[in-house]
Structure 1
Amino acid sequence: MTTSLQRPYSGRRLTETRVNVNVEPVTEGVPRSAWMLNSRASTWHGPYVLLLLAFDYMAALIASVLTVSVISRFSDLIDTPAAGFYVVRDGVSSISPMFYIVAYWLLPLTWVLVLWGNGAYDRRYLGIGTDEFKRVVRSAAIIVSVVAILTVFTKTNVSRAALFTALGVAFINISLLRFGARRVLHSLRAKGRAIQRMLLVGAYPDTIEVHNAVTRTTYAGMVPVGIYLTEGAASVRGLETPVPIFSNRDVVELAADLDADTIAVCGSASTEPGELRRLAWQLEGTGRDLVVAPQLTDIAGPRVHIRPVEGLPLLHVEEPTLSGLSWLVKNVLDRITAAVGLLLLTPVLAAIAIYIKATSPGPVFFRQPRVGMEGRTFHCWKFRTMYIDAEERQAALMMQNESDGLLFKIKDDPRVTSAGKFLRKTSLDELPQLINVLKGEMSLVGPRPLPADNGDFLGDVRRRLLVRPGITGLWQVSGRSDLSWDDAVRLDLFYVDNWSLTTDLQILLRTIAVVLRRRGAY
C-alpha cells in the first residue's frame, strides 16, 4: 500500500480517471483544541442529525402535551396529594406552572441529552442496523431510572400513571419518528443521495467481494467509486471492472481526487505491518473515515468482538448461539404462537378450505416431504394451490424452470389454480404450516424448507439443517422467489450463523410488510 509517508511510485495508472477537486494538504494529526470539531468529508449526516434532534424533541413534547391533556380532563379522578404538581387557590385545584416547565421544557430536553450521551446521533449507527434503536431503548431505561430516583430523593408526589404515560408515549413517538426518518433516508440513498463514497484498497478478489457486499442493498448508502490495488495489478489489465482501477498512487491523494469520504482496507491488505497505522495517521484531520473489511463475511456484530493484546487487535468470533436459554424460549414461543394462531384463525382456515373446494376438484391440503432439522424428513402442510395432476405435469415444464437451484419455480405456472394464485400472492397457503410448528417440525422463523426428493444436500447447504426450517425467513423478506439460489442460500446461512431472538422479531415484522406488498410471491 502506498501512503504519502512513502515516496509514491511514478508508474502509469491502470485507469486514467481523475476528478477535478482540490487535493487536501496532508496533516500531522487531528486538531488538539477541545472546542474544535473535525469537519467530515461526507455531509449527509449533518442535516439528518438536525432532523433527528427536532424529531426527538417534538416527540417528547407531544407526549407531555398528551399527558397534560389527560390529567386536565380526568383531574377529578387524580386530584389527590399523591398526584403532585397541583396548587390549590380559593378552593380550586389546578396544575402548577412548575409542572408545565418540567413537562414542556425539561423532560424533552432531557430526552435529547440522554439520547446524545448514548450515541443515538452517532453517524455510524444511523440508517442501518439495530444499534440506533438499541440506544433509544437504553436512553428510555436511563430516563425512567433517573426520574424514579429523583422523585424518591426529593420526596416529590408525582402521579406515577401520568409520569410513565409521558415517558412511554415519548419512547413510542421517538421510535416511530426515527423509523420514518430512516425510511426517508433509504429512499434518498436509492436515488444516489446521502451516500458514502468508498475507495476500496486491497487485492482485486478481496475488493470485489467487499464491493459486491456493500452494493447488494442500496439502503446501506455505501457506493464504491474506485479500487486501489495493492497487488496483482498486471493480472486485471483489460478486465471490465465495476469501478475504475488504480495502482501506484498515493492513497490519500487518490481519495481526494475521487471525492471519497471513506477508505476501506480489504482482506489481507489490512495485515500489512505498519501500513494500516500510517494510513490512519495520514487521514487524521482530513474528515475521511478508515474502515477495515477483514476476510470474514456474513458474520454479524454480536458474534464478533475485538480483543486487543499488546496493541494487536484480535478479532474474536464466537460460536453461533443455537442452544441455551434463548433457544429454549424460541421453541416455547413457537409452540404457543402456533397453538393460539390455529385457534384464532380457524374461521379463516375454514373459509379458505371452502374457497379451494369450490374452485377446483381435489383435497384441500397438500403435504409434501421436506427436509427438516438434522436431516429428518417431515411432511410440510400447505393449502393446495395447484391442480391435482401438477406433479405429473412438472416434467413437461422443466425447460421453463426459472429457478437456478433446488426449487422448481415458474412465474406464470399453468398448474396453479385460480384460488392458488390468490393464496400464493397473499401467502395464505402457508398458514397450515402452523401445524408443523406445533408439532416441533418447523419454526415460525428459519431457513426455507427444501423438498426431500432432491437427495442429499452437499457443501454449505447442509449447514441449513442445524436449525428448524421456518414459515418465514430472511429469504422471504429479502425478495422471495425473485432471489437467485446462491442469494437464498447465503441468506439462510447468515440466519443460522447469526441467529438471535431479536433477529426473529425483526424478520416477523418485516414479513408483514412483504406480504402486504406481495413482492416475489408466485
Structure 2
Amino acid sequence: MKLFLMISDVIAVILSFSLAYYYRIHFDGRPYFFDPHTMNFVVLIITLVPVWLIVNVMSGLYDRAIFLYRPREYGRVIVASVVSVMALVSYAFFTGDDVFPVRIIAIYFIAISFFAIILGRELVKLINRVLIRNGIGRQKVLIVGSNEKTTEMANFLIHNIDYGYDIAGIVAKSDFLPREKCPRHFSNFNEAVEQAEVDVIIQTDNNRSEIIYDYAIEKHISYMFLPNQDRLISQLNSVEIIGGLPVIDIKITKLFGAGQFWKRLMDITGSLIGIIIALPIMTIVAIIMKIIAPKDSIFFRQIRLTKFNKEFYIYKFRSQKAEYDGLTPEQAFEKMNKPELIKKYRENGDSLDDDPRVTKIGKFIRATSLDELPQLFNVLKGDISLVGPRALIPQEINQYKKKDIILAVKSGVTGLAQVSGRRDISFEERRRLDVYYVQNWSILLDIQIIFKTIASVIFRRGAK
C-alpha cells in the first residue's frame, strides 16, 4: 500500500508540474520572458522528485494512521506541497536553475498537485478495496477475550468486509459470541492456534496477555490489544479505531512497510558500490590465500540465521583451519582438547587473542575485517542487510531468550554491537545491543553505524 502510494505521488507531482508549466505557456494570456523548453523543465523536475518523497515521509503521508483518515491526509498533502515548493525555491536560489521561471507556475502547481495527488491516492485505495473484496491481501484474525468488546469487534469485522480481516476464530465464553454469522468458537487459546491459521491476534482483555504476546512474537504474528488505562503505550505502537473501539497495534520493530523498502534500496545500492570498490582487494586476498594454502578452499560457507529464523549460507574468506569447519567454538575447543578456552572465549566477546583455530593469514584478514567482504554478495542477494544484528549459527542464537526479537529483522554485515566495542564486550551485552537495534531502528541509525564501522576498520578499534 505504501509503495503504491509513493509511486502515485511521484506520477502526480511530475504531471502537476508539467501541466502548470504547459498552462502558463499556452493558456495564460499574460506575456512571459523565458525560453519555454518544456522537456528540459520536466527532466529537471524528475531529478528533484526525491525532495517530494522526503517531505512526504516527514509529513507522515505514508503512515497508516494518516492515509486511512481523509481529513488528516488532505491537510498533510497541502502542507507537504507548500513545503516542497519552498524547498525548490531555496534550491533555485542557490543553484541558479530555473525551477520556476515565473512565480505563478508555483501557485498553479500547488493547486493542481493537490487534486492530482488526492486523485491518485483515491485510485490506489479503490484498487486496494477491489483486491481485498476479491480475497487478495486479506488477513485472518483470532479474537481473544471474554467481554463485550469481543462481541463488538466481531460484529464490526463481520459486517465490514472492506476492512480486510476475516475472523478465523474467537476464544471467549459463549455469552460473548456474536448472535449472527458466528465464526468458529474455541474454548481456549492453545486449541485455537493449533487448529486455525492466523495472521493477526486481537486481544480484548488482560487474561494471559503475556503468554499470548510471547506466542505472537515467536510465530511472527501481528498482535493487537484493546488497551486499558493502566497500559503503557510504546513509541513503536500505533492506535487504530476499529468499529469505534481504540485498538493498539503492537510493533516489535519500526522496520516494516516503507522502512523495509528504503532499507532494501540502501542495501542494494551500498552492496553494489562496496563490491565494485572491494573487488580488486578481494581478488588479491584470494590469490594470496591460494598461494599459501593451495589445497584449502578460499571461501568459508556456514549456515546462519536471519529474519524469521530463515537459514542461509554466509560467505566469508576462510580464516580458520579446515578441520574446524562447521563446528561451533565449543565443539572446536572440545575437539582440540582445550575445553577451558570455551569460557574465556565467550567472556572475551567471542574472541581470543591467540585463537588456535585461526590460520596465520586468517589473523590478518580478521584484524583488517577483510574476511567480511564476501558478505556483500549476501547483502545483494537479500540474505542479510548492511546493518543488523550479527548473523548467528542456530546453536548460538538458541542460547538467548529474546532470540525471536532479534530474528524479527534481517541480520547484518555490521551492527550496533560491532561499533559499540566490536569484540571487546560480552556475548550477553552484544545480544542486548541487538535487541535495542531491532526496537529502535531508523535509517539515520543505520547511516551512523555504517560510518562508525568504516572508522573502526580504518583505525582497527576493537578488531582482533
Q: TM-score range by the shorter chain?
A: 0.3 to 0.5
- Higher RCO by CA contacts (8 Å cutoff, separation 6 or greater): 1
Length-normalised TM-score, structure 2: 0.44
Answer with 1 or 2: which has the greater Rg.
Answer: 1
Length-normalised TM-score, structure 1: 0.40
